[in-house]
Amino acid sequence: MKQKIFLCLVLFGSLLSLNSFAAVSGNYQKGWEAFGNNNRSEARRFFTLALENPSSKADALLSLALLDWQEMKNDNAFDDFRKFYEISSDPYAYFYGFSSMPFLYESSNLLQPSRVDFLEKIVADPKMNGTLKAMIYHQLGQHYFACNKTKKAQELFDKIGTIDHWQVLGTFDNTSGSGFNKDWGAVTKPKTEDVLKNRVDADIHWYTPSYNKPDRWFYFDYYFQLNNTVMYAQSFVTSPVAQEVYLRTGTSGSLKIWVNDVQVASVPEERNCDLDIYAYKVQLNQGVNRILVQIGQSEIEAANFMLRITDANALPIAGLTNVAEYAAYTKPASGSISEPLPFFAEETLKAKIKAEPDNALNYLTLAETYLRNDKAYEATAILKQLEEKYPKSSLIAYRLAEAYTRAKNQTDYGKEMEKIKQDDPNSFTALSEAVNDAFKSEKYNDALAICQKAKDLYGSNTTTEAWELNIASQQKRTQDVIEMSKTLYKKYPDNADYMNLRYVIENNVSQNSKAATSIVEDYCNNYFNGKAMETLAKIYADQGNQEKSLTVLRQRIDHMPYAIGYLDNLAGVYFKMQRYKDALEVTDRMLQLAPYLPGVFNYRGYIYKNLNQPELAKESFRKSIYYGPTSYDSRAQLRLLENKKEVGELFPKNDLTEIIAKAPSSKEYPEDNSAILLNDQQLVVYPEGAKEYHYDIAIKILNQAGIETWKEYSIGYNGNTQKLLLDKAEVIKAGGNKVKAETNEDNDHIVFTNLEVNDVLHLDYRVQDFSTGEIAKHFYDQFLMQYSIPSLLNRYSILVPKNKEFKSLVTNGDIKPAISDVEDMKLYQWESRNMPAIKSEPYMSELVDVAPTLSISSIPDWKYISHWYKDLTTNKLKSDFVLKQTISQLLKGKENASAMEKARIFYNYILENISYSNVAFLHSNYVPQKASRTITTRLGDCKDVATLFVSLCRESEIKANLVLISTRDNGYNRLVLPTIDFNHCIARLDIDNKVYYLELTDNKLPFKAALTVDLNSNILPIPYDTEAFGDKLMSMEMQFRPKNRINRDNTITLVNKDMQVQRHSVHYAADASYLRDTYRDLGAEEQLKKITQSVASDFSVPIKVTNPKFKNLENLNDSIVYDCNIEIKNSLQDVAGMKIMQLPWTDKISSLEMVAEDTRKYPMELWQYHMEDITTETLTIKLPLEKKFVEIPANVNLECANARYSLTYDTKTVGTVIAHRTFMRKTETVTIAEYPKFKEFMNLVSEADNKQYAIK
């Protein structure tokens, strides 16, 4: 978090200038100066004085409302606002902006009488904008609905003037917003009899839900499961005349709208918006008009909309009627997407700001307007401008914290809240944070003291009352809790929490069940609350009055007949009572709401099963599977009803007792600490695409080292999209006794306690896959047939539909599958038996590259993968406000820079400002976050930072793409068939017909450099335009990268028996990154200590390092210069009147461990041993006066297929010998055939490096 990005945000240029404070003067100005410095008492005094000036009275009242709100004096704040509204000539935009404040609407649907009176009065204002009227009707309707006055609520909802009859269609895949621009057929197929395919390829139709929510918001979650989905709604509106109208809508989710099949709206951003926020001028035909709405959900939890057809003043058009069922309509010859019309409140406030650029109130109100509609970035820009003027303001910091919360930026949210605590510790906000901290630490006396301080400063309020009650409860002050609960419930009779507390006390403490029941009954008579009714139903059930309980549950449904969860609850109660026909009738109603929910059909299957109607039960379970392929319970039940074996029984059975009895002992495997007795993996691929895995593993411990290796075991699976079912985790003792292993809560980490030699570990578990989206229809897997310990039986089985196409390949072996028919499927089995351990060799290839390995995949080709990932990421690359402002700031004064220089600026910005957050790169985590979110949170994993770089480039018209990569330390054979098992993501940059691959997770790596581990790895660049790649795997080769190399130039002076070395080295590319990573964040003392340790490891005599210096250590330049002086004691030995010495080569080959064996069974990964492309070193040796080498050293030139080495000497200058050493790696791998020559080569290199020289 090194750079305050938002300080650079400017909204609409000079529109928000705060350079002067001249427009507002006098007491009002002084009030804001005091308020901005958190001097609230002075602010109140000046604002109160400003009330005497008619020109500042209205603004002063609004400012007092904000001040009272900050001090939790909500009733006073409301009075201030009411007075403002009554005297203002144009209060409407301020009413909209302030309506999100709790003092106006409060936090619940129930309003205080003063608020109801106020709203009912102002809604009659003929000058009020129709949007505000609709908003008030909705709020009042919600209030009366919560008061059990449903008729009055309905009258108010009717006045909103919405299109309220809808057919629905869904769901379609929208993973990462990928479904937004796809044609799912809804536009061209409007009729009920039209058949479309949903996200699981099931046939679906348009249908009319039996009920909609009465408040006129249309909620899709009552009809569909929301999980990265696109859904549609259509209505057929009849207009008595052809007319131009205004179509206004608010949404949760992304939005598209068609009128008579012509698209008029497209909003890809997912926001939780208020009504009417998107408005479009459209033409209605005389007669029937089709209105089609698409809502997309992937980034937010909700999916809903409200649509109104109005005049220019947002008042409903009279004479329109609408029906859900299809009616013939006329399509226009042409049309185009409209630009949304400006929202009235935003436009009014922008004009106010232009007229009064120094009045902070207008900025705050505009920010609140933005926040009301999830325009977090726009709100942040406004608030940041105010923050420059009032840097200590708690009000501004609090609203910034809200903006950061809406942007899901918890980092900056935390900073703003901490700032309030530091700058304004006595503010109510800071005291609230302090109370929360005290609660977390269970310091309840501290919490009580803080609460009292808040009361002393600001008086008692609903928050302090809740604190006091909570503290008393935590301190187990029962009598105080009883008294407080009575007082609070009397004071707030509409508060369901206080009602429930009173019930619990009367029932459990006072033991007065009659009085307790009356409390809940009275509350339910006066107010509608679903949880309260559920409590009342449970009370009656516990009292044995089941019919009365059912009546309450039915009444709750009568109140909310669209609430499918309430219906599900009632069906469950009937089922438990064995009233199966009643339960079935409830599920009929559920299907009228949601005919494609698999859970409903699963429920009906159980009901029919208990009604002894097996055929209907089978039909229901089949439908559950049809609409929900991952309905594994339905699959199991269906097989039972069809008298079929459990799926697991279709595979060969393992006799573990026999396997253990025949297990080898340590005598047979004296070199191994354990042996795999059984490694059996099974995969079931169901016709509809669901997948289920079964693992049966047994391992025998052969010695103490085996105990250390296997005492803990972690099961790898994806907790986001998979379910782990652990059937057995046990230790089987030598005598046959079984001891259950210990596990964590998720059962994925297992501890085998009290292990002994000859014990057998046994794991038996299943993994059910619940992933969704396009890739979920396919399967891919990889299975090793040999390991680094002996394995007696490795078996991989897959059961697939007979017509299911997939590829299989065994690398490093020739293992054919046994294929058999099982029911209506095919069973494939690959086996390896009695496989010896693969013994480790220095720098050997990964197991997947040397062991027999099975790969399977149903994915057709790599093009499928690249286009799948393109779909997932395209939406994340789109430009937005934050991205544009970031680019503007980064390129300020450099707008005419070259494409390469701009790319370097973007690269350096990411490495210097975005912290790498190591998120597991699993299937569910392939979706990157938007570039703007990475900017605001300053955190991201590999795909996030790569997406940010690509977004910055593409917005600047520089060609860049995401690249999936499987780094070569993952094994070259990891991707022999199409799969998504990549472990990393980087960026591709195309400039001047040159290609660069950029690693953005190493924040010390120079631009255009490449890590050795990335080079020659398997990559899949993702095409976004018409690029000629993405249809096959490529090798990451960077022809134009700077080489990873080190150049050293040392001067050596011989003094008696010592060497004085002046070391100078230049480290390039990835080697520069390594040096930065080692030394950049250390102080001078620690640097010297670490350098000394590194140098000392090369010598067996005392050394001393002095005067280390670095150049470019703190930046991202292509190279780092490193200098130091080294004194090497006793490095020359006296022998027969001569001094014997070795040359102090920095990279000399001292150990030949990697070539100790005469032969190898497996290739050597040479890049792991020598990561540099080339190293060079020059030693300039200053000989003592009249001394010389006894024998002039001979030059050495060595070369093999894998490397080149040279050692040359220059003795032309008297008293000086210049030695030059070069080592260059030619290949990445040493093959088995090449190894003998390479061994010989390395031996000769070592001999040359370690040669001793005599001086006389």
- Residue 506 gets which letter from DSSP? I
Q: Count, in order, helices (H) and strands (E) of the chain.
A: 38, 45
Question: For 1068-1115, how does the pLDDT look when each residue is reduced to its tens digit (9 = 90+)?
Answer: 999 999 999 999 999 999 999 999 999 998 898 999 999 999 999 999
Structural element, H or E, at residue 632: helix 632-641
Q: Which residues neighbour 81 within 8 Å (Cβ) at sequence distance 6 or greater?
A: 61, 62, 65, 98, 103, 104
Same domain, 1007 and 1052: no
Q: Which pair of tokens denotes residue 710?
A: 């296997």
Q: Which pair of tokens denotes residue 125?
A: 């204002």
Residue for token digits 């249908």?
Answer: 207
Same domain, 1007 and 1105: no
Q: Which residues neighbour 440 within 8 Å (Cβ) at sequence distance 6 or greater?
A: none
3-state secondary structure of 901: helix
Over range 954-969, report the average pLDDT.
96
Do residues 865 and 978 make contact, with C-beta atoms less than 8 angstroms apart? Answer: yes
Residue 292, in any domain of the structure? yes
Selection from 371, 423, 360 nearest residue 397 by Cα = 423
Measured in degrees and rounded to the nearest 5, phi and psi for residue 878 equal: -70, 145
pLDDT score, position 547: 95
Rg of the chain in Å (alpha carbons) = 37
The DSSP code sequence of 431-483 is HHHHHHHHHHTT-HHHHHHHHHHHHHHH---HHHHHHHHHHHHHTT-HHHHHH
Same domain, 880 and 738: no
Band of residue 598 on the pLDDT scale cut at 50, 70, 90:
very high
Over range 826-839, report the average pLDDT.
97
Question: For 989-1023, how does the pLDDT look when each residue is reduced to its tens digit (9 = 90+)?
Answer: 999 999 999 999 999 999 999 999 999 999 999 99
- Residue 208 gets which letter from DSSP? -
Distances (CA, A) of 660 to 665, 735, 756, 759: 11, 11, 15, 10
Q: Which residues pair with 1138 in a beta bridge?
A: 1135
Same domain, 334 and 363: no
Euclidean distance between CA atoms 806 and 266, whole angstroms: 39
Band of residue 1136 on the pLDDT scale cut at 50, 70, 90:
confident
CA angle 732/733/736 to nearest 5° reads 80
Residue 1191, in any domain of the structure? yes
Q: Which residues pair with 208 in a beta bridge?
A: none
Cis peptide before 853 (omega within 30 of 0): no
Structural element, H or E, at residue 907: helix 899-913
CA angle 893/896/900 to nearest 5° reads 110
Same domain, 1150 and 1230: yes
Euclidean distance between CA atoms 943 and 921, whole angstroms: 9
Q: Which residues neighbour 240 within 8 Å (Cβ) at sequence distance 6 or greater?
A: 286, 319
Selection from 1197, 1198, 1201, 1199 nearest residue 1230 by Cα = 1201
Selection from 243, 224, 303, 223 nearest residue 270 by Cα = 303
Q: Rounded to two decimals, what is the model's pTM?
A: 0.91
Number of domains forming the structure of the chain:
6
Q: Which amino acid is at 409?
A: N
CATH number for the domain including 751?
A: 2.60.40.3140
* Average pLDDT across the chain, whole number: 94
Residue 1040, in any domain of the structure? no
Residue 789, in any domain of the structure? yes
pLDDT tops 70 at residue 125: yes
Euclidean distance between CA atoms 793 and 763, whole angstroms: 15
Residue 446, in any domain of the structure? no
pLDDT score, position 1070: 96
Over range 662-681, report the average pLDDT.
96
Band of residue 683 on the pLDDT scale cut at 50, 70, 90:
very high
Question: For 371-406, how does the pLDDT look when each residue is reduced to its tens digit (9 = 90+)?
Answer: 999 999 899 999 999 999 999 999 999 999 999 999
Same domain, 688 and 788: yes
- Among 287, 313, 344, identify where a domain stops: 344
Question: For 501-512, how does the pLDDT look when each residue is reduced to its tens digit (9 = 90+)?
Answer: 999 999 999 899
pLDDT score, position 919: 52
Band of residue 1027 on the pLDDT scale cut at 50, 70, 90:
confident
Over range 418-434, report the average pLDDT.
97
Q: Which pair of tokens denotes residue 999?
A: 């690693």
Structural element, H or E, at residue 61: helix 54-70
pLDDT score, position 1106: 95
Same domain, 184 and 151: no
CATH number for the domain including 1069?
A: 2.60.120.1130
408 alpha carbon, distance to own chain's centre: 10
Residue for token digits 């009912």?
Answer: 120
Q: Which residues neighbour 107 within 8 Å (Cβ) at sequence distance 6 or greater?
A: none
Q: Which pair of tokens denotes residue 618?
A: 């089978």
Selection from 1106, 1100, 1098, 1104 nearest residue 1131 by Cα = 1100
Band of residue 15 on the pLDDT scale cut at 50, 70, 90:
very low
Q: Which pair of tokens denotes residue 669?
A: 């495997």
The residue length of the chain stands at 1256
pLDDT score, position 11: 31
Same domain, 927 and 848: no
Band of residue 978 on the pLDDT scale cut at 50, 70, 90:
very high
pLDDT score, position 1: 31
pLDDT score, position 188: 97
Q: Which pair of tokens denotes residue 251?
A: 């949404």
Q: Which amino acid is at 108?
A: S
Residue for token digits 């427009």?
Answer: 23
CA angle 898/903/908 to nearest 5° reads 125
pLDDT tops 90 at residue 208: yes
CATH number for the domain including 1003?
A: 3.10.620.30
Hey, how many other C-beta atoms are within 10 angstroms of the C-beta on 140? 22
DSSP β-ladder status, 674-685 and 791-801: parallel
Q: Which amino acid is at 1207?
A: L
Hey, how many other C-beta atoms are within 10 angstroms of the C-beta on 347? 12
Contacts 24+ apart (CB under 8 A), 195-200: 196/169, 198/170, 198/171, 198/172, 198/596, 199/171, 199/172, 199/173, 199/229, 199/772, 199/773, 200/627, 200/628, 200/629, 200/688, 200/689
pLDDT score, position 106: 64
Over range 190-214, report the average pLDDT.
97
CATH number for the domain including 311?
A: 2.60.120
Q: Which pair of tokens denotes residue 824?
A: 């209506």
The range of the structural domain enclosing residue 1180 comes to 1046-1255
Euclidean distance between CA atoms 1045 and 1066, whole angstroms: 8
pLDDT tops 80 at residue 407: yes
- Residue 906's Cβ-side half-sphere holds a number of Cα atoms within 13 Å equal to 34
Measured in degrees and rounded to the nearest 5, phi and psi for residue 632 equal: -65, -30
Question: For 781-809, how does the pLDDT look when each residue is reduced to its tens digit (9 = 90+)?
Answer: 999 999 999 999 999 999 999 999 999 99
Q: Which residues pair with 168 in a beta bridge?
A: 207, 233
Residue 1251, in any domain of the structure? yes
- Among 365, 395, 429, identify where a domain stops: 429
Band of residue 107 on the pLDDT scale cut at 50, 70, 90:
low
Structural element, H or E, at residue 307: strand 304-310
Band of residue 16 on the pLDDT scale cut at 50, 70, 90:
very low
Residue 58, in any domain of the structure? yes
Same domain, 941 and 998: yes
Question: For 130-155, how does the pLDDT look when each residue is reduced to its tens digit (9 = 90+)?
Answer: 999 999 999 999 999 999 999 999 99
Same domain, 603 and 656: no
- Residue 15 gets which letter from DSSP? G
Over range 883-896, report the average pLDDT.
94
Do residues 1202 and 1233 make contact, with C-beta atoms less than 8 angstroms apart? Answer: no
Euclidean distance between CA atoms 1010 and 998, whole angstroms: 7
The DSSP code sequence of 754-790 is S--TT-EEEEEEEEEE---SGGGG--EEEEES--SS-
Q: Which amino acid is at 1059?
A: M
Do residues 1098 and 1087 make contact, with C-beta atoms less than 8 angstroms apart? Answer: no
Q: Which amino acid is at 1197?
A: N
Same domain, 1071 and 1026: no
Q: Which residues neighbour 1253 within 8 Å (Cβ) at sequence distance 6 or greater?
A: 1140, 1141, 1142, 1143, 1189, 1190, 1191, 1193
Buried b / exposed e over 1001-1015, threshold 16 CB at 10 Å, is: bbbbbbbbbbbbbbb
Q: Which residues neighbour 1010 within 8 Å (Cβ) at sequence distance 6 or greater?
A: 997, 999, 1036, 1038, 1041, 1044, 1069, 1070
Do residues 798 and 694 make contact, with C-beta atoms less than 8 angstroms apart? Answer: no
Same domain, 830 and 870: no
Q: Exposed/middle/buried for 89, CB within 10 Å: 0-12, 13-18, 19+? A: exposed
- Among 283, 309, 344, identify where a domain stops: 344
3-state secondary structure of 1154: helix
Residue for token digits 């937005």?
Answer: 880
Euclidean distance between CA atoms 921 and 716, whole angstroms: 13
pLDDT score, position 170: 94
pLDDT tops 50 at residue 24: no
